[in-house]
Structure 1
């Protein structure tokens, strides 16, 4: 249940943030790029095999 609630909350917050940043297209692209990079780093960190 908490995954569903987290997904809904993240979706709503993302939608609100994107509508606020839509006037600044370059800023929105930058925020999205940083988010994708953070997720990639997290996935690599979680799947490391040391």
Structure 2
């Protein structure tokens, strides 16, 4: 799987990953702990 990096590719990826979590939170459901935890680890590793 090839990934073409664009200036806003990281923002798009975060938006795609974060959107289901935001939808679930605004819908009143429990946040997906494993996904958010993995996302936090990935972001901290990048920065």
TM-score by length of 1: 0.39
RCO (CA 8 Å, sep 6+): is it higher in 1 or 2? 2
Considering fraction of residues, name the structure with more helix.
1
What TM-score, normalized to structure 2?
Answer: 0.39
